[in-house]
A and B are shown apart, each in its own frame.
Chain A
Amino acid sequence: MTVQDLSPRAPVAGPVPGSLPAPGPGRRFRPNLASPKVWSWIAFVLGLLYFFLPLIGMFEFSLRARRGEYSFDAYRNVLSDPQFVATFSYSVVMALCTIVLGVLIVAPTAFWVRLKLPWLRPYVEFVTLLPLVIPPIVIVFGYIRLYNTSSWLPMTGTAMGTNILLMFGYATLSLPYMYRAVDTGLRTIDVGTLTEAAQSLGAGWGTILGRIILPNVLVSILSGAFLTFAIVIGEYVLAALLNRPAFGPYMVWMGGNRAYEPAALAVIAFTITWACMGLIQLATRLSKHNRVERR
């Protein structure tokens, strides 16, 4: 027999659904299919498998570049490809510029809407959601039509002009995430009163934004920034149609021309995305003044 039978019996056969398990003796793991807890664990495990099996499969495949044994050859090939380095650095720089532009556009807008134009908020929110509804291909064709070499503002005529255009496109794509992140951050502080307190102490708008508002929503801005980073690194349509040497088109090109390297590249890209997520967590953890607990 099992150990379980030697212990005193709990008065009730299992925990009451929805309540905490009864404390004290008799609290042992007893599979009970009627309990919702078991079902939620099953659902959780199924979800994990659904999510991780393809990744594991892909990872396994990426290790099989050498016949008959596992090796990191595919990774070595990718990382030593000068194209990889060039496109990846290009995308990183673009991502950083996009983040700066996004913060400069979004933070003052969200602040001003919260402070002075609260009735405008639903409309602004709607506008920031548009990039999720309108496909990037529409945006990029719009850009090409408006800014082609024979237009009033021939931005696609030079590499720099196209880069700037691409940055605006990226900023548009990341708008939903950036705006939501900053707006959520602003919700956690009393924007109106803090602004008035700063004003009564003599501060102008620059000081208020730079010294009070931005530092208080820094964590939110960072999470918006990491999301933007992840989007820009993987973006394909804008970069391909504007014909810029970005990481997204490189990945697609790889996928069409090699066997094992695309899998390695996907794992690398995935790792980068996850690192961004981790950094969001870390930033939240590190901010000194945002803790709710006292002393």
Chain B
Amino acid sequence: MTFLTIEHLEKSFGPTRVVKDFSLSVEKGEFVSFLGPSGCGKTTVLRMVAGFETPTSGTIRIDGKDVTHLRPNQRSIGMVFQAYALFPNLTVAENVAFGLKVKGVGGEERARRVQEMLQMIGLPDLGARYPFQLSGGQQQRVALARALAPRPQVLLLDEPLSALDAKIRVSLRAQIREIQRDLGITTIFVTHDQEEALSISDRVAVMYGGIAEQIGRPFEIYNRPATRFVAEFVGQLNRIEAAVLDPNAGRVRIGHQEVALSRPLPAGERVTLACRPEAVSLGAAPGRDLILPAEITEVDFLGAVIRVKAKAGLSTLSLDTFNRPDQPPPQPGDRVQVSLAPADLLVLEG
């Protein structure tokens, strides 16, 4: 059974429709990310779930109960903000206790629970500090503890990591995911960082222009993007121009080779195909029987991985190979063959 249901959600600010027919079902305990460029409406959807914005139309249900028109303080949600938003006049412990106090949890039980929360976020000794005495990462962990202390039904996080520096961002996101798993709390996480979204989510909703372009597991989103936008927004993409020979049978010509894609193509003389860098191999590879002659134009030695750019016909392909200590890396100007599997080629429509 789905726990959080969003149905045909719409939101307009004046004449502009900011969210368009957004539907999503989240299972209990699931971790869903909203991923998309700035201004695509991620925050607006999240704020409607929290109750800070009223939808123009559509419904939001939590655990079967229609909460669309409930005020924020009547919904059982925990929210973490990009700007931490700790109460500056309260200590860390008082911040965490705030929601419990409002709920009427008694003094002893409250103190126990605050300590438990501080333990959980790994800051058991900082209860007496004021927010201004904490680092950004510590503040955000306190904000998480504060949101979780009253045991909300749904946890909402709006770009909680984007004000932090890269190292802390990675470690804190792992910690958030671990805590989320332990508590089994249904979570929506907003981000515009695709690596973040792919690495910690059960499912990702890729948004663009107020529409959920695709909702799926990270593996699907990355490997089977449903729309051109998703394909281009998530991950790196090589483009290959091809001439269409038979649109119904999916036969195209790439360079001088005929390739059967075994799926129908849009009508037209030319089509843009795409593939991920890791779908392309340098030299022959088992299962990758489309082989193209190419010339290496650029080599980036990154350590474990070597990123190579190779020009095959009109298109430049990016591909990654692993470093091998016993072999010198390829050099620009080398004439090589690159291979890929026709099944890995995506058709970019529109």
* Interface set of A (CB-CB < 8 Å, partner B): 189-190, 193-194, 196-204, 207, 211-212, 215-216, 288-292, 294-295
Contact = CB atoms under 8 A, between A and B. Distances in A.
A291 B77 CA distance: 32
B83 A193 contact: yes
Contacts of A288: 130
Contact of A289 (B88, B102, B103): B88
A162 B72 CA distance: 44
Contacts of B78: 200-201
Contacts of A215: 89
A215 B87 CA distance: 10
Contacts of A207: 102
> Main secondary structure on chain B at its contact with chain A?
mixed
Contacts of A197: 79, 81, 85-87, 143, 146
Across the A-B interface, the 10 shortest Cβ-Cβ residue pairs:
A201-B99, A200-B79, A199-B72, A215-B89, A197-B85, A202-B102, A193-B85, A289-B130, A199-B73, A202-B73
Given A201-B146, A202-B103, A289 B73 contact: no
A83 B89 CA distance: 44
20 contacts: A189-B88, A193-B83, A194-B85, A196-B50, A196-B79, A198-B98, A199-B72, A200-B73, A202-B73, A202-B102, A203-B73, A203-B102, A204-B73, A211-B98, A215-B89, A216-B88, A288-B130, A290-B88, A292-B132, A295-B133
Contacts, number: 75
B218 interface: no
Contacts of A199: 51-52, 71-73
> Which of A196, A202, A203, A289 has the most chain B CB atoms inside 10 A of its CB?
A202
Given A196-B52, A200-B77, A202-B103, A294 B132 contact: yes
B52 A194 contact: no
Contacts of B86: 197
A110 to B, nearest CB: 17
B4 to A, nearest CB: 15
A291 B88 CA distance: 10
Contacts of A193: 81, 83, 85
Contacts of A189: 88
B294 interface: no
A212 B87 CA distance: 7
B150 interface: yes
Interface of B: 50-52, 71-73, 77-79, 81, 83, 85-90, 98-99, 102-103, 130-133, 143, 146-147, 150, 156
A194 B87 contact: yes
Contacts of A289: 88-90, 130-132
Contact of A291 (B89, B132, B147): B132
B152 to A, nearest CB: 8
B99 to A, nearest CB: 4
A256 B165 CA distance: 71
> Which of A193, A201, A207, A216 has the most chain B CB atoms inside 10 A of its CB?
A201
B147 A200 contact: yes
Contacts of B156: 200
Contacts of A294: 132-133
Given A201-B150, A216-B89, A294-B132, A196 B81 contact: yes
A295 B99 CA distance: 27
A295 B130 CA distance: 10
Contacts of A190: 83, 85
> Which of A198, A199, A291, A292 has the most chain B CB atoms inside 10 A of its CB?
A199
B146 to A, nearest CB: 7
B149 to A, nearest CB: 8
A212 B89 contact: yes
A207 B90 CA distance: 14
Contacts of B90: 289
Given A190-B83, A193-B81, A292-B132, A201 B88 contact: no
Nearest to B143: A197
Contacts of B71: 199
A197 to B, nearest CB: 4
A267 to B, nearest CB: 39
Nearest to A212: B87
Contacts of B87: 194, 197-198, 211-212, 216
A96 B86 CA distance: 33
A254 B340 CA distance: 102
Nearest to A207: B102
Given A196-B50, A201-B102, A216-B87, 15 more contacts: A194-B85, A196-B52, A196-B79, A197-B79, A200-B50, A200-B73, A200-B147, A200-B156, A201-B78, A201-B146, A202-B73, A204-B73, A207-B102, A289-B132, A294-B133
Contacts of B99: 201-202
